[in-house]
Amino acid sequence: MKELLAADYIRRAKIRVKIIKEFFKERDYADVIRVSQEIVELVEKAILLKMGIVPPKWHDVIDVILETKEKLPEEIGKKISKLRRGAKWLRSQREIAFYGDEDFLPLKEYTLKDAKKAYEIAKKFLEIAEKI
């Protein structure tokens, strides 16, 4: 059952990649960031499931992966370690990118550079997931 759920997460992450392309077209960089974070979250949880670990019910589980990375091929563990900072950044942007604040309008604050950074992180996570 864990394998099926992991595959479901990966499939849903790939669907989100298609959605991101529409957000780029609309210059909706805030939603590129938000959806990129969702991709990373789904991939992280799929990785845990493939490791035989039930993922916790919080958004960023990269530290759980890294605590148990001996269950992964060494090359994959190293790649995930390098992505930790990116995953943490995306997590920190999750709510503000979606809801904004009185002094933070997501459509005005986020730039193409921010969106590209988020998307690159998400793509790297998807590449890792496909190797596991």
Domain limits at 88?
Answer: 2-131
79-114 pLDDT, tens per residue? 999 999 999 999 999 999 999 999 999 999 999 999
8 Å CB contact between 75 and 97: no
Handedness of CA 66, 68, 69, 70 (dihedral sign): positive
What is the residue-averaged pLDDT of the chain? Answer: 95
- Say how many Å lie between the first and final Cα of the chain, rounded: 17
Task: Report the domain count for the chain.
Answer: 1
- CATH number of the structural domain spanning residue 106: 1.20.120.330
For 36, the enclosing helix (H) or strand (E) is helix 29-50
Task: Look up the pTM and report it.
Answer: 0.94
